[in-house]
Amino acid sequence: MSKKPPVIMWFRQDLRITDNPALTEAIETGSPLLPIYILDDENAGDYSPGAASRWWLHNSLQSLNASLDGNLQCFRGKADEVLPALVQRTGSTNIYWNRCYEPWRIERDLQIKADLRNSGHHVSSFNGSLLFEPHDVAKADGTPYKVFTPFYRKGCLGNAPPPRLPLAPPDIRSYEKSSPGSSIDDLELMPAITWYDDIAATWAPGEDGAQERLDTFLETGIRNYIDGRNRPDLESVSRLSPHLHFGEISPQQVWHVASAACNIAALESQLDHFLSELGWREFSHHLLFHWPDLPKKNLQSKFDRFPWRDDEDALHRWKHGMTGFPIVDAGMRELWETGYMHNRVRMIVGSFLVKNLMLHWHHGERWFWDTLVDADLANNSASWQWIAGCGADAAPYFRIFNPVTQGNKFDPDGVYVRRFVPELAALPNRYLHSPWDAPDDICESTGFVPGQTYPNPVVDLKASRERALDAFRSLKGLAMT
């Protein structure tokens, strides 16, 4: 065994080998590499990974460990205790990691870095998960942006350093396992019951799966992205969000590979729309960085007075896809079965929860946190505040998605609804998104029994819309524009 102390590479939300700035720099020191992962549920508190995320994390770590020839060392506990103890035990003087941007991680990591440096250790951190770091994007007066288009077009594309080119995969040098790390199984990320079988059939976590997902999207989805991205019945979105969250692929890789492919194929307009979606991811992290209370506190304080309702039955029906509105129920069932929901449908089910049901957006944020494989603190919080109307660049309070209209427009042939709400499969397209309108002869011929084979609507759409508008108008300072 080498007597030279190892350089510690602390993997976090960067579970990949290629284009990993911290890993590349760590290897260039010439010291043996000690790759580690720390499951720090205690410091994470309410934002420790949810059930679906833990399934993904387990499999992603397995993939990373294979790339590291089985040398990944895993630990469970407070990182501010685990890491200093490991440094002392191994004699390491060099520690590398890529930065994370959740408020609790920022606070913890700054303290760890200060403590290690004060004790004479070399600590280096890098940007491995964003195209534009939050502190690099600001308005001319130095204040953060609150509106997406100027943030992205001017702040990012106009004034910030351009996305760097991806780094090549480094030559991995392993370190013999002499530290008391645990196995990935010892992290106990996988639940005892196998509810995740359908999720496992849908996804391929890991660096190879991320690259395959990008390649598939560029071959089949990007050509019709502008129109197709709103269609949950089509394969026109990238579905890269969980791979990006766990860092199995970097946004720089996606940005530059997609740009090269689209420039060759003369798909510049499709590319611009796709890259702007990466821009929304950046905007969410920008908001969380500057407003760390984003997950729990309304950005627009006047919404603190909003008269939210309490209705446990309605919330239960929403969570489990039993609202009686097919496009809403299809989305919630897709979420439960696959750990994912198409973005257009996320907006529909979100609007239905906070406006038609008038239930607090916190309910949706918490449910998505536990059930999404791509649950990301910045994206999840910013998106729920957007749909509720209380966030930055938010949807106007009077924009209430009609689930029947949305279903007919974006799932016109009923492919999506029939997949996830099979009890409606025999209904003609004309009645699929409003089954309560089906005449008696159609019900009889298809075996559809309203209220029995499928629930009756949990609310009246028109009445619930007016109720929501009245509640929003009651907030001082809101006006129809």
Buried b (16+ CB within 10 A) or exposed e, 301-315: eebeebebeeeeebb
How far apart (Å, rounded) are the C-alpha atoms in residues 288 and 310? Answer: 28
The CATH classification number of 301-473 equals 1.10.579.10
Q: What is the model's pLDDT at position 481?
A: 30
Buried b (16+ CB within 10 A) or exposed e, 242-265: bbbbbbbbbbbbbbbbbeebbeee
Q: What is the model's pLDDT at position 480?
A: 32
Radius of gyration, alpha carbons of the chain = 24
Options 97, 336, 369, 384, the catalytic residue: 384
CATH 1.25.40.80 fits 130-164+208-290, yes or no: yes
Options 361, 367, 369, 386, the catalytic residue: 361
Helices (H), 6-78: 21-28, 41-44, 51-67
Sketch the domain layout of the chain as residue ranges: 7-128, 130-164+208-290, 301-473
Options 81, 277, 337, 423, the catalytic residue: 277
Q: What is the model's pLDDT at position 1?
A: 46
Options 127, 224, 343, 408, the catalytic residue: 343
Active-site annotation holds for 282: no
Q: Is the pTM of this model over 0.75?
A: yes
Question: DSSP for 149-189?
Answer: HIIIIIIIIIISPPPPPPPPPP------S-S-PBPSGGG--
Q: Are 331 and 342 in contact (CB under 8 A)?
A: yes
> Which whole-number Å values give the CA distances from 341 to 252, 263, 375, 416, in the listed order?
24, 29, 11, 11
Cβ count within 10 A of residue 88: 11
Q: What is the model's pLDDT at position 479?
A: 41
Active-site annotation holds for 55: no
414: its two tokens:
């009923």
How far apart (Å, rounded) are the C-alpha atoms in residues 445 and 439? Answer: 10
Q: Are 32 and 6 in contact (CB under 8 A)?
A: yes
Active-site annotation holds for 384: yes
How far apart (Å, rounded) are the C-alpha atoms in residues 116 and 466? Answer: 58
Query: For each of the chain's 481 residues, which pLDDT tens digit applies?
Result: 447 899 999 999 999 999 999 999 999 999 999 999 999 999 999 999 999 999 999 999 999 999 999 999 999 999 999 999 999 999 999 999 999 999 999 999 999 999 999 999 999 999 999 999 999 999 999 999 999 999 999 999 999 999 999 999 998 876 655 556 789 999 999 876 677 788 999 999 999 999 999 999 999 999 999 999 999 999 999 999 999 999 999 999 999 999 999 988 889 999 999 999 999 999 999 999 999 999 999 999 999 999 999 999 999 999 999 999 999 999 999 999 999 999 999 999 999 999 999 999 999 999 999 999 999 999 999 999 999 999 988 777 788 999 999 999 999 999 999 999 999 999 999 999 999 999 999 999 999 999 999 999 999 999 999 999 999 988 865 543 3
460: its two tokens:
């009246």
390: its two tokens:
């209380």
How far apart (Å, rounded) are the C-alpha atoms in residues 54 and 61? Answer: 10
How far apart (Å, rounded) are the C-alpha atoms in residues 347 and 327? Answer: 11
Q: How many CA atoms lie within 13 A of 446 on its CB side?
A: 22
Options 81, 133, 224, 308, the catalytic residue: 308
Q: What is the model's pLDDT at position 398?
A: 80
Options 224, 280, 337, 408, the catalytic residue: 280
Question: DSSP for 241-253?
Answer: HHHHHTTSS-HHH
For β-strands 122-126 and 33-39, DSSP reports them as unpaired
229: left (phi over 0), alpha (psi -120 to 50) or beta: alpha
Active-site annotation holds for 402: no
Active-site annotation holds for 98: no
How far apart (Å, rounded) are the C-alpha atoms in residues 17 and 98? Answer: 12
The residues, any chain, with a CB within 8 Å of residue 30's CB and separated by 6 or more, are none
Q: What is the model's pLDDT at position 394?
A: 73
Length of the chain: 481
How far apart (Å, rounded) are the C-alpha atoms in residues 235 and 240? Answer: 13
For β-strands 33-39 and 7-11, DSSP reports them as parallel
Tell me if residue 142 falls in helix, strand or coil.
coil
The CATH classification number of 7-128 equals 3.40.50.620
Active-site annotation holds for 367: no
